[in-house]
Amino acid sequence: MSEPILELRGLKASITEQPDIQLLKGLDLTIRPGEIHALMGPNGSGKSTLANTIAGSPSYTVDEGQVLLKGEDITEAPADERARKGVFLSFQYPTPIPGVTMVNLMREALKARRGAEVPAREFLQELRETLASLKMSEDMARRYVNEGFSGGEKKRAEILQMGLLKPDLAILDETDSGLDVDALRTVAEGVQALRRPDMGVLIITHYERILSYIEPDYVHVLVKGQIVKSGGFSLAKEIEAGGYDPILKELGLLEGATA
């Protein structure tokens, strides 16, 4: 069996500025190369907290447990080091960066990822190949990062960055948020086009709809900072049909939970 891309062992994490508020309460998760895992759960269950904790956001502090990337303990590593080692986080609300073009951002990011300057000819060739695989116009790369982008364009720009950087672990935090059906399909097709047998993917979502386009190998339900149930794609369909209440009731967790 191949070495896991990501291992979370008994992960507990709190808000850095409010250490008495613990949001992750002993979480175990293993993602192997080529696997797509979906993380679902009610509002406030800790989904985005988990994404940001894996990526190394200073807003959260690991109180206990470990985060391992390809067998290496990165629990204490800062966010930039994790990114260089191959952790990619697609943001729920990508931020505009006026005056910085997509081309310049991606070339600097690729330089950091590889630890060396990428020759201009080589970079442009890789950029064009990635754009082509995503069926995206080269005009996208000339625009300022997320400035004036529609919701769908912002998410596609994130997928473009993922394609160029070729991370070991891609975390997509509510990539489907705010997208209409056409934009959702376009983004999902982009993720599928970039899927690699040596990459692990964690999709964080409220809804089953994106999983109809990117069928996950595993689905996990997160409630109050703990994974309370895991299964296959059928679990996502079950949630779409009946919501979280039946699962919470089955586990004796319904009282006080938010659907």
96-105 pLDDT per residue, tens: 999 999 999 9
Which of the four pLDDT bands, split at 50, 70 and 90, describes residue 54? Answer: very high
How many domains does the chain contain in total?
1
Question: Is the residue at 226 inside a domain?
Answer: yes
Confidence of residue 186 (pLDDT cuts 50, 70, 90): confident
pLDDT at 187: 83
Give the CATH number, domain containing residue 86: 3.40.50.300
Q: Mean of the pLDDT values across residues 74-82?
A: 97
- Token pair for 126: 């890789």
Q: Is residue 144 part of a domain?
A: no
- Please tell me the predicted confidence (pLDDT) of residue 182: 81
Domain contains 183? yes
What is the residue range of 225's domain? 6-94+167-250
Percent residues over pLDDT 90 in the chain: 70
Is 23 a domain residue? Answer: yes
* In a domain? residue 257: no
14-53 b/e (C-beta count within 10 Å ≥ 16 → b):
beeeeeeebbbbbbebebbbebbbbbbbbeebbbbbbbbb
Structure tokens at 157: 């720009």
Q: Flag whether 151 is in a domain.
A: no
- What per-residue confidence (pLDDT) applies to 92? 79
- 114 has pLDDT over 70: yes
Residue 156 has pLDDT above 60, yes or no: yes
- The pTM score is 0.92
Would 141 be classed as within a structural domain? no
Q: Is the pLDDT of residue 259 over 90?
A: no
The reply to whether 220 falls in a domain is yes
